[in-house]
Amino acid sequence: MILAIETSCRGGGAALADQGEIVGEITLAVQRTYSKQLLPSIHWLLEHAGVKLNEIEAVAVGLGPGSFTGLRIGVSTAKGLAFATGAELVGISSLDALAAALLPSPSPITAFPLVDARKGQVYTAQYFLEGNELERISPYLSLSPSELPSSLDTTASGAVLMGDGLDKYGAEITALFAPGHSVAPRHTWFPKPALVALLAEGLLSSGVRHDIASLSPIYVRPSDAETGGKVRRFQEAGAERLRLRLP
């Protein structure tokens, strides 16, 4: 049994998965801090699914990028639960989970999650999807919409755009992509805890585990305290291609 936590942005929460099946999920797209709602949500989910905490074999957590505060709460909660129960720990990029909402894909598509990073930027990466697999083919980035063509293949045919960055910069972003692109349905615009759980199950089955002490969020860009408030293009370590598969 896997317990997954996703707190990178609105619409997060917790989910339970077992052998490729979603046992339960709770999400709340409201403007409340996860410090108040996350643990009660996990408690409610476990209680109503009839699952005891000691039955959790692995804890999965969305690593971002996204809200700095939300990520710190989610990762610290996941670490605490894994330490207390002895469960395995697995981190999943929230952008990976966001792109996975388009799986399974009966034909090849190129997906571009675009998450509002504030300060005139979006968090993004480029993905190739086919069947039950997704492959990230770019680093995780934080950049302005105008910088998208110099960093990603905005000429890709059949591109699919998704994410709440479209709420803020939709007209500017869509004008940068080749004709024939599409925008995913709005219900796919936020990373789901259930997809964090399923992607983590795939990693666990391939032998991937993460260390409680060293696992950290994917912030992509430094905090204002580190940059003096200056905004520029940032790239997180992660230029290597990454392939993930839903069970």
> What's 90's domain CATH number?
3.30.420.40
> Residue 29: which pLDDT band, with cuts at 50, 70 and 90?
confident
The conformational region for residue 142 under phi > 0 = left, psi -120 to 50 = alpha, else beta, is: beta
Q: Say if residue 46's pLDDT is above 90.
A: yes
Residue 103 and residue 58 in one domain: no
Task: Kindly state whether residues 11 and 129 are assigned to the same domain.
Answer: no
Provide CB contacts within 8 A for 3, sequence distance 6+. Answer: 14, 15, 16, 42, 46, 56, 58, 59, 60, 81, 87, 197
Say which residue, 207 or 239, is predicted with more confidence: 207
235 in any annotated domain: no
Residue 103 shares a structural domain with residue 142: yes
pLDDT tens sequence across 167-193: 999 999 999 999 999 999 999 999 999
Instruction: Give residue 245's pLDDT band: very low, low, confident or very high (50, 70, 90).
Output: confident
Under the banding of pLDDT at 50, 70 and 90, the label for residue 232 is low
Q: Are residues 70 and 120 in the same domain?
A: no
Helices then strands (H, E): number in the chain?
7, 14
Q: What is the domain extent for residue 119?
A: 96-188
Residues 164 and 58 in one domain: no
CA angle 164, 166, 170 (to 5 degrees): 165
Based on the domain organization, do 90 and 194 belong to the same domain? Answer: yes
Residues of 45-67 as b/e, b for ≥16 C-beta within 10 angstroms? bbeebebeeeebebbbbbbbbbb
Q: Does the pLDDT at position 194 exceed 60? A: yes
Helix (H) or strand (E) run with residue 165 in it: helix 165-174
On average, the pLDDT of the chain sits at: 90
Domain count, the chain: 2
Q: What is the pLDDT of residues 17-28, one digit of tens each?
A: 999 999 999 998
Given a cut of 70, is residue 204 above it in pLDDT? Answer: yes
pLDDT tens profile 136-145: 999 999 999 9
> Would 73 be classed as within a structural domain?
yes
79 lies in the same domain as 129:
no
Q: Does residue 151 share a domain with residue 132?
A: yes
> DSSP character for 178?
P
Q: What is the pLDDT of residues 74-124, one digit of tens each?
A: 999 999 999 999 999 999 999 999 999 999 999 999 999 999 999 999 999
Q: How far apart are CA 209 and CA 168, in angstroms?
A: 36
Q: Among candidates 223, 217, 210, which has minimal Cα distance to 237?
A: 217
Residue 11: pLDDT band with limits 50, 70, 90 = confident
Q: How high is the pLDDT of residue 218?
A: 92
